Amino acid sequence: MIGQVLLLALVCIGMGGATELALRQYLIAQLDQNLTDASHRSALMASLPPPRTRPGDLRPIRMPGPGPDFLDAPGQPVGLIAVVENFRGVEAGVLTRDGQREGLTETAIGQLLDVTPRRPPITVDVDGLGGYRLVAAHSRNGDIVVTGLPMADVNETMLRVLLIMVVVAGTALVAATILGVVITRRSLAPLTRVAATARRVANLPLDRGEVELPVRVPESDANPNTEVGQMGSALNRMLDHISTALSTRQASETRVRQFVADASHELRTPLTAIRGYTELAQRHRDEVPDEVAHAMGRVASEAERMTNLVEDLLLLARLDSGRPLDREEVDLSQLAVDTVADAHIAGRDHEWNLDLPDDPVVVIGDRARLHQVMANLLANARVHTPAGTTVAVSLRASADGHAEIRVSDDGPGIPAQLQSEVFERFARGDSSRSRNGGSTGLGLAIVWAVVKAHHGQITVDSRPGDTVFTLRLPLTADA
């Protein structure tokens, strides 16, 4: 609309300028015609003897006032300016609107005498009188007669027409703007509805879980005969493709998760047997060679690590299936004390700091799962930072009704390209498949899943020397 209004304004300005130019040329041509007639009449009267009072009387009739005698003769226009130069001298004057003759200044007389005969009329700003069109001619006696008519009427007409055009153009612009807004809004109403549909789709959580697309562009807004309808139809086709792709992805994820859950459940029995037999064999380690005893110890440790992996996979499978968690009051202050104490025992080469509020911070949730969340965060800080790193845990109740736990360390940090993937399953900073310190790549994935199950949020902000995991949980059971 702004572009259309500007274009219309430019058109109005162009038309107004062209009209003003054409009108000015027309009025000046008309003024020049009147000036030519007045010049011929004045040159003729300048060569005639002055009128007498009666026949035989030698005394001429001379009206009072400066200027030549023909200046106020019958038929002369108001505002006429005239200068006659002959052997007797220079006579100059102007005919005022009340029919009186007035003299000219020396500067004005000099300006008029500069006009030469046999030239077209010219515009001169006469001293004390304003703009005039001037022309010079010779009388029959050879005198030079310079006459001029004022430009005041032309300028007043031009100004009056300009004001009328400004008012008309302004009214037209306002009316065109109002009508344009109404018409444009009515024409683009389908586009607004299409954009609203796109925004509703954009707000859907399409990144994970089962996703349905209940929104579509109405068929009335998907008419292929209009540009907006073509876009609405294309958006509907795109939504169909997205819905199909999401359904396929969800089915594939469901099969994979079901397989993982089933496999993990089936692995628990043989793993239990393996651990039992290794424990039985290790009771008689003095009776077997050292190599066999060492091998059995390795089998026991790996069986224990694999059991932990299976338990983590089973936990994730339960969370994915939406199984309800325990709901009880959990004192996060006591939980933070316990987990930091455990981390201090496991990582004596790290420095552990704990900052707690004076009053306990209590939330409603699953105590065991929240303990696992804190333990995983602290284990992540311990495993992925060098000895001597300071790990700090702080807890507070925020004003918006959330408990906020911050786990920070001054280690080397998480690479920027990996920060968006730290909560994914089997995500590791090392691109190889080697486990660093027994890490399975599921610790932070479990943290994210448990926090989401508690309707909370967890974020990470990391740079060299400062890595912060921020965990927020609702303080009330209704949240």
Q: Per this entry, what is the length of the chain? A: 479
At the fourth CATH level, the homologous superfamily of domain 328-474 is Histidine kinase-like ATPase, C-terminal domain (3.30.565.10)
Tokens (6 digits) for 451 = 């926090």
Q: What was the pLDDT predicted at 51?
A: 59
Residue pair 94/78 in contact by the 8 Å Cβ criterion: no
CA distance 46 to 433: 119
Please give the pLDDT value at position 339: 93
Closest by CA position to 117, among listed 48, 46, 29:
46
Amino acid at the residue 420? S
In this predicted structure, what is the pLDDT of residue 371? Answer: 92
- Give 291: exposed, middle or buried? Use CB within 10 Å, 0-12, 13-18, 19+: exposed
How many angstroms separate the CA atoms of 11 and 19, rounded? Answer: 12
Q: Are 213 and 237 in contact (CB under 8 A)?
A: no
- Biggest alpha carbon–alpha carbon distance for the chain: 174
10-residue mean pLDDT profile of the chain (479 residues): values are 89 92 93 91 80 53 70 86 83 86 89 88 91 90 89 92 93 91 84 82 69 73 80 84 80 74 76 84 80 85 82 76 81 93 92 92 90 92 90 91 92 86 72 45 85 90 92 73
**CATH classification of 205-322, choosing from 3.30.70, 1.10.3470, 1.10.287, 2.115.10?**
1.10.287
Q: If 0-12 CB within 10 Å is exposed, 13-18 middle and 19+ buried, where does residue 27 land? A: middle
The whole-number pLDDT of residue 461 equals 92
Closest CA to 161 of 14, 32, 19: 19
Rounded Cα gap, residues 296 and 416, in angstroms: 42
What is this structure's pTM?
A: 0.49
| Among 357, 303, 365, CA closest to 329 | 365
Task: Judge residue 331's burial from the number of C-beta atoms within 10 Å of its C-beta, 0-12 exposed, 13-18 middle, 19 or more buried.
Answer: middle
- Report d(CA 439, CA 379) in Å as an integer: 9
| pLDDT for the residue 56 | 55
With contact defined as beta carbons under 8 Å apart, do 108 and 128 qualify? yes
